[in-house]
Amino acid sequence: MLSRLTGLRPLAVVATLALASASLVACSSASQQVGGVTASPASCAQLQEAYGSFPAGTTVRGPPHPVRHTGTPAVPVSTEAASLDASLEHFSQCTGLSVVQVESDDVAASLKSDSTQADLAVLPEAGVLPELVDEGLVQPVPETVGANVELGWDRMWSEAGTVDGTLYAAPLTASLDSLVWYSPTAFSRLGYQVPQTWPELVALTSQVAQDHPDGSVTPWCLGLASPDAGEEWLAEAVLQLSGPVAYDQWATGKDSLDSVDADTALGELGSLLLTDGHVPGGRQEAESATMQDAAAQLREGQCLMLHAPSAVEALFPAGSMSDAGASSQPEETAGAAGAGDVLSAFLTPSGGQDEETAYLVGASMLVSVSGSEAGEAVMAYLTSAQWAQAYAALGTGGTAHHGVEAAQAGSPVAQQVSQILQSRQSVLRLEVADVATPERVTALREALTAWASGQADGATVLSRAEESSAQ
């Protein structure tokens, strides 16, 4: 499942879950393929013992189903929803509980207006959680869910879901955002090397543009119409150029939005991305392009690199991932030249000013809204190792859940992503939207939209954002 398809993070498009109970049916005993490893699901008896059986006719109300559309003509964004449905199929057959998904452009607003009437909600950003807790809109997680989180997730993830010492949100999925997607075949064909440092990334960008003055191939794909694309790029630049300590100060609000670190980073991004010939169609086209559009441009060979979270893998066709994995050097890979090349990813290089290599990550958080028995049963399953394994089997871009072995992830990139997310030696930093107030995030996104459109320079928009967030 994709993450914030308009700014990718796992399960972001799926905003709320409304539950309905159906009659118990016999469960399939078919096994699932997880990264080439056969994984047998729990039996119906085991699932019923753990999560209960629900009588036919029991329903939990759900709201209308507004469908988000992208592109022309408008096409429903359904990748995430389909993946979640598939991961819950066996559970639903066995327990009688089926999950009815309801999309929302603004989960918090939907919960505040009571328009969801849902049992569970998936928050694409943890930063909104304290506000929802203060307004009494979400419930503390049940003990079984808390136990699942403690067993399956490292502390940083549970801390993101904790308010005043109480766990209100369980991490559901996680993404590694510090990735640059590319074609190893294209790099090899054109004589380019994967950059090891930020200056090398800058140099490669300039070289690609110089080598293709007609704009037939640009160094970067860029979809700024996705609301948080600019924010994630800026967060990445602050983290890689100034280091995790400076990033923490800036992201959490201990330092201002227009800090020297942020101003420097945005200046770097302007040169990297918005210089003529650096993105397909220039600044104007990038403004209107979504992450889906940018991913398609990469697949079509219009551009060579795309900065996007691990969950973007769901946008690429099956069989399009290279055995190169998340690499530090490209490998010679067989395949077509140009459009249709297999894809891989490398880790966003650091500026080298900090001894630690840090990675930007994101998480989707699962909350209980109604506290219903049926809702809590589904919540318990969605936080279990059983579900994490079923979800990983679908090739959903890696997992931080310790109940899934990294080798079981569905592609070489996802395997390395899982290793990084699960390793206690990794230096990980949550996205701005997971650690900042909603007001701060909104101000930053509006500022970056103005910057991307050329309405004002970086220093000006960041200063305005700081003033707006402080009001």
10-residue stretch averages of pLDDT, the chain, 471 residues long? 34 40 38 43 86 61 29 41 82 82 76 75 90 94 96 96 97 94 93 95 97 95 88 96 95 96 96 95 92 92 94 74 44 38 90 77 91 89 93 83 89 91 94 94 94 92 93 77
Q: Do both 334 and 256 map to the same domain?
A: yes
Whether 387 is in a domain gets the answer yes
> Domain containing 414 — which CATH number?
3.40.190.10
- With CA atoms as reference, report the closest residue to 262 among 24, 25, 87, 459: 459
**Cis omega (within 30 of 0) on the bond before 73?**
yes
How far apart CA 286 and CA 16 sit, in angstroms, is 30
Q: Do both 258 and 289 map to the same domain?
A: yes
How far apart CA 388 and CA 418 sit, in angstroms, is 12
Whether 458 is in a domain gets the answer no
Which residue, chain included where needed, has tokens 């559309």?
Answer: 69
Q: Do both 391 and 351 map to the same domain?
A: no
pLDDT at 108: 80
Q: Do both 83 and 128 map to the same domain?
A: yes
Whether 7 is in a domain gets the answer no
How far apart CA 109 and CA 329 sit, in angstroms, is 44
Give me the domain span that covers residue 285: 179-359
Q: Do both 230 and 346 map to the same domain?
A: yes
pLDDT at 315: 81
Q: Do both 138 and 201 map to the same domain?
A: no
pLDDT at 350: 92
Whether 455 is in a domain gets the answer no
CB of 252 within 8 A of CB of 326? Answer: no
> Model-level pTM?
0.85
pLDDT at 254: 95
CA 233 vs CA 170, 251, 314: distances in Å:
26, 13, 20
Beta strand extents in 54-206 (DSSP E only):
69-70, 75-76, 97-102, 120-123, 162-163, 166-167, 169-176, 179-182
Q: Give every CB contact of residue 112 below 8 A, 6+ residues apart in sequence.
A: 135, 137
Q: Do both 232 and 341 map to the same domain?
A: yes
How far apart CA 415 and CA 434 sit, in angstroms, is 24
Whether 442 is in a domain gets the answer no
Q: Do both 135 and 116 map to the same domain?
A: yes
| CB count in 10 Å sphere of residue 446 | 16
Q: Do both 130 and 183 map to the same domain?
A: no
Q: Do both 183 and 88 map to the same domain?
A: no
Which residue, chain included where needed, has tokens 């219903």?
Answer: 372
Whether 440 is in a domain gets the answer no
How far apart CA 143 and CA 4 sit, in angstroms, is 29
pLDDT at 167: 98
CB of 344 within 8 A of CB of 412? Answer: yes
pLDDT at 354: 55
How far apart CA 154 and CA 161 sit, in angstroms, is 12
pLDDT at 130: 96
- With CA atoms as reference, report the closest residue to 169 among 363, 330, 357: 363
Q: Give every CB contact of residue 306 below 8 A, 6+ residues apart in sequence.
A: 180, 181, 182, 220, 221, 222, 294, 295, 297, 298, 312
Q: Is the dihedral of CA 130, 133, 135, 137 positive or negative?
A: positive
Among residues 338, 359, 380, which one ends one of the domains?
A: 359
CA 385 vs CA 11, 104, 312: distances in Å:
17, 27, 23
CB of 232 within 8 A of CB of 222? Answer: no
| CB count in 10 Å sphere of residue 352 | 15
Q: What is the DSSP letter of 42?
A: P
Q: Do both 83 and 139 map to the same domain?
A: yes
What is the number of structural domains in the chain?
2
| CB count in 10 Å sphere of residue 194 | 23
Whether 125 is in a domain gets the answer yes
How far apart CA 151 and CA 231 sit, in angstroms, is 32
Strand 303-307 relative to strand 321-327, pairing:
unpaired
pLDDT at 151: 96
Among residues 359, 382, 406, which one ends one of the domains?
A: 359
pLDDT at 392: 85
Q: Do both 203 and 306 map to the same domain?
A: yes
How far apart CA 98 and CA 54 sit, in angstroms, is 10
Among residues 343, 359, 375, which one ends one of the domains?
A: 359
Containing 231, the helix (H) or strand (E) segment is helix 229-242
Q: Give every CB contact of residue 209 below 8 A, 6+ residues apart in sequence.
A: 218, 219, 275, 277, 278
pLDDT at 366: 92
- With CA atoms as reference, report the closest residue to 368 among 100, 98, 168, 174: 168
Whether 301 is in a domain gets the answer yes
pLDDT at 409: 82
